[in-house]
Amino acid sequence: MIRNYYNEQWKDVVFDDKIATFEKYKISNYGRMLNCKGENEVLVKESFINGYQTLPLKQELNKKSTSRYVHKLVAEHFLEKGEGIYVIHLNYDKLDNKVENLKWATKKEKEEHQFSNPDYINRPKKRTYSKLTESQVRLIKRKINDPNRRTRMKMIAKQFGISEMQLYRIKSGENWGSVTDY
């Protein structure tokens, strides 16, 4: 016997034609899944792809494994279908599959939502493949373009642990051309 949460509702999951007919599941408005294949209904063990909870299934034609995103199944069964084909998590938590946290969105809405994610905004600005950070490049550009500069390029390069050629590329804008305010 599964213990229900407050105000939890269960619905039988309706799959598309590609999924095997013996796959019987129930889904709740809290994002929980029940396996109804046997005599007893059992909570489905969580599995994840790219941080999203998924439901592993078998295909009808070739019996190969496939999966469906749980948040999309919750939206299909509990939310009124809007214009969009994407489902977004309003609080940016990929594991929170409650119906109140989900919303149908168009591609444009989904992208705007992703770019307003605090994790995206607060991500480090350093390029992982680079020896320099943006702030170091700003400092280098200030030093290179200073009309009263007395330090040779070779010394500036040594100071930052890069080659002289790299400095000339930064100066010409070939490298780090995106850094303009210095």
Kindly report, residue by residue over 98-152, the tens digit of the pLDDT: 999 999 999 999 999 998 988 877 776 666 678 888 889 999 999 998 888 888 8
Give residues with Cβ within 8 angstroms of 173, minimum separation 6.
none
The two most distant CA atoms of the chain are separated, in Å, by 84
Q: In what order do the strands lie in the sheet with 47-49?
A: 47-49, 52-58, 65-69
Domain boundaries, the chain: 10-121, 134-172
Phi, psi of 166 (to 5 degrees): -60, -40
Q: Quick one: pLDDT at residue 131?
A: 87
What pLDDT sits at residue 124? 65
pLDDT of 22 above 80: yes
How many beta carbons lie within 10 A of that of residue 87, not counting itself? 21
State yes or no: pLDDT of 38 exceeds 90: no
Mean pLDDT of 84-106: 94
The pLDDT of residue 31 is 93
Sign of CA dihedral 150, 154, 157, 161: negative
Considering the domain 10-121, what is its CATH architecture? Alpha-Beta Complex (3.90)
